[in-house]
Amino acid sequence: MILIQVFLWLFIILPLLLWGTFYFFPINWWVENIISIPVIFLAYYSMLLIIMLLFHQWLACIACLCIMLFYAFMTEPATVNTEKFCSATVLIVQFNVFYENMNIDAFIDYLHSEPADLVVMQEVSPMHRKNLSSLAELYPYQFKGMNGMNTASDQMILSRTPLLSMSIYPAPDTEKIIMGLWQISDDKQISLITAHLPSPRNAVRWQRRNTAISFIEQLVKNHSSEDMLIIGDFNLSSASLRYRRIFSDFTHFPVVSWPNLQKGSRMPTFAMIAIDHLWLKSRQQGWQICSRSTKRSPDGSDHKMVLTKIAIDRYKKH
C-alpha cells in the first residue's frame, strides 16, 4: 500500500516539477507549446483526481485540486472589462480571416452593421482582399499589406481615419512587419505595428517566430514613441513565459481566440488559448484599454474575432 502511495504522489509531483522546469527553460518548440496550454494539465490532474478518489487518497485529492486551481488561474477569459469609466472610445477589430474562409461575406456584413474604427486582419487571401475592398466607402483608408510586389504576411488594415507613413519592415527571416501612424483626429494619433507571425509547428517555424518577436522589440526600442499600439496574431500563448517577458512597459489583457471549431460542438473557453494580441503604451496621451472580448461569429475562421475598446481621452479617476 505504501508503494502505491509513493507512485501516486510521483504522478502528482513529477509533472508539476517538469512543467516548472520547462516553463522557465523551454528547450524546444514542442515543449514550449505543451507547457503553454493549461488545459492539457487541467485534464491530466482531473483524471488523476478521479484515480485518487477511487483509492481514497484524500490528501492527494486536495493536492490535485490545488494544482488544478493553479492551472485554471493560467487560463484566459473570453471577455475583459478593465475600466468602469470610459468615454470617447474607439473600437478595434482584429481577425485572422483564415486563408480557406469561404464565408468572407458574413464578415463584411458584420463590418457594415457594426462598424469599427480600425480593422486589422491576417491570412487575407487575394480573393478576400478583393472582396474587402468593397468596404472602401465605409473604410476609405486601407493598407492592403503590399508595397509594390512586397507583401506583408497577408495582412490588411482598414480604417475610418487616416493611416499615415505605412511601411513594411522585413524581419531577418521571411516575416514582414507593418508600421505606421493611425491618426484618429487632428490632435490624436498613435504609432501602429501589426504582425502575423508563424505558427510554431516545428523547430524552424518556432525559431522564425521568436526571431520576429525580437525584431519587433527592437523596432519598438528604436522608434522610442510614447504612444504605440501593437496588434496581431503572434501565435504565442499568453500562458507562456515568453509572452510575459515581451513589451513589459505596455498594457495588455489577453482573451482566448483559438482554436475556434467550425463544425460540431463549440470549444469551451477554458480549453482555448490567447494568441491574437494587442499591446498599448500611451504615456503622453493617456489612452486606456476599456475592454477586450471575442466573438465566435462570423463563422469561417479557426480564430475568434477580437474586439477592443480604447478610451482616447486622458483617463481621470472618478
In tens, the pLDDT along 71-91 reads 999 999 999 998 767 878 999
Pairwise CA distance, residues 171 & 237, whole Å? 21
Give me the pLDDT at residue 86, please.
Answer: 83
Confidence of residue 8 (pLDDT cuts 50, 70, 90): confident
Pairwise CA distance, residues 109 & 239, whole Å? 34
Indicate whether 221 pLDDT > 50. yes
Give mean pLDDT, residues 230-238.
Answer: 97
Query: Residue 64 is placed in which grid cell?
Result: 490535485
- Please give the model's pTM, rounded to 2 decimal places: 0.93
59 or 315, greater pLDDT: 59
- The CATH code that applies to domain 79-311 is 3.60.10.10
Give me the pLDDT at residue 314, please.
Answer: 60
Give mean pLDDT, residues 216-232.
Answer: 94
Beta partners for residue 280, in sequence order: 229, 251
What DSSP character marks residue 134? G
Pairwise CA distance, residues 200 & 202, whole Å? 6
Task: Kindly list the domain boundaries of the chain, sorted by start residue.
Answer: 2-74, 79-311
44 or 171, greater pLDDT: 44
The Cα angle at residue 55 between residues 63 and 44, in degrees rounded to 5: 50
Confidence of residue 52 (pLDDT cuts 50, 70, 90): very high
Pairwise CA distance, residues 54 & 23, whole Å? 31
In tens, the pLDDT along 263-289 reads 666 788 999 999 999 999 999 989 999
Confidence of residue 147 (pLDDT cuts 50, 70, 90): low
In tens, the pLDDT along 287-316 reads 999 999 999 888 889 999 999 999 998 654
Give me the pLDDT at residue 228, please.
Answer: 97
